[in-house]
Structure 1
Amino acid sequence: MPVDATLPYDDQNIFAKILRGEIPSKTVFENEFALAFNDIAPQAPTHILVIPKGAYVSWDDFSARAPDAEILGFVRAVGEVARAAGLVTSGYRLLANTGLDSHQEVPHLHVHIFAGQPLGPMLIR
């Protein structure tokens, strides 16, 4: 169910629980700012989620409230994950949904990295 990204952060969301170690994940990268793990319901042969360790509902929330060092560390983490997975040569797609119209399902900022096959057009009309 899509979430309203304007609501306050809910520390009971699935990604908050993963960050606290309450729910296991297959970690592929971690630094002080971000955690990356394989999606449990992949939409492409490679489907990695990268989440900030801070409590941010969406990209809008993160870009407005996160300290510069945290923004830099998170954005660099996304690039490191893509490079470490060998995705740069063949290409990959980044997706960060924000709010109801985008169908954001978890109220914690997350970036999807999709790769491993031709991904087609951005939107289907």
Structure 2
Amino acid sequence: MSLTGAYDPANIFARILKGEIPAVKVWEDDDVLAFMDVFPQSEGHVLVISKTSRARNLLEVEPEVLATLAAATQRTARAVAKALSPEGFSIMQFNGEAGGQTVFHLHFHIIPRWADRPLKGHGHAPMADADVLRSLAERIAAALD
């Protein structure tokens, strides 16, 4: 998919927001959902999405929604750092298929990093065990400010 086009209301994140597909939630409010990536590139990989916008990418998002997502990403990253004590973390956001985007609903990745643990490829990591994801989500949620 290119950088332009119509929003697909059947994309996996839209379906998660509608309750059609389960997700391991870290936290949510009226505007944002933070949940565990089921194909994590690293232990504790969290996704942050808007619950109110139908933006497919950074070019389409409303400025006020982007500000809300940025604050939510920062809040979640702080909790990930506190809960998991990584040596660093990456914040990733992909735009368009050529840019690495695989789900066309704007989202931010928070990926904890350790020097001695290789990062799994985006879109190529194996599916994680749901119990492991739930445990990590609970630890991260407990560390939220």
| TM-score greater than 0.5 by the shorter chain | yes
CA distance in 2, matches of 1:12, 1:93: 28
Letter in structure 1 aligned against 2:73: V
Quote how far apart the aligned CAs of 1:80 are.
Answer: 0.8
Query: Gaps spanning 5+ residues in structure 1: where?
Result: 121-125
Report how many residues are paired: 115
Confirm or deny that 1:20 pairs with 2:18.
yes
2:93 corresponds in structure 1 to: 96
Q: Over residues 27-83 of structure 1, what are the superposed CA-to-partner deviations in whole Å (9 max), with x where a residue is unaligned?
A: 002122211111101111121111111111001111xxx152x22221110011111
Distance change in 2, residues 1:67/1:46 (3 Å): same
The TM-score with structure 2 as length reference comes to: 0.71
> Which aligned pairs between 1:1-125 and structure 2 lie closer than 5 A?
3-53=1-51, 54-62=53-61, 66-68=62-64, 70-86=65-81, 90-118=87-115
The TM-score with structure 1 as length reference comes to: 0.81
Q: Which secondary structure state, in structure 2, belongs to the residue aligned with residue 60 of structure 1? A: coil
Query: Gaps spanning 5+ residues in structure 2: where?
Result: 119-145
Contact 1:46 1:114 in 2 (8 A): yes
Q: Which secondary structure state, in structure 1, belongs to the residue aligned with residue 14 of structure 2? A: helix
Q: Which secondary structure state, in structure 1, belongs to the residue aligned with residue 45 of structure 2? A: strand
Structure having greater relative contact order (Cα 8 Å, sep ≥ 6): 1
CA distance in 1, matches of 2:58, 2:27: 20
Letter in structure 2 aligned against 1:71: L
RMSD over equivalenced CA pairs, Å: 2.1
Contact 1:45 1:117 in 2 (8 A): no
Identical amino acids, percent of aligned pairs: 35
> Displaced runs of 4+ in structure 1, greater than 6 A?
none
Contact 1:34 1:52 in 2 (8 A): yes
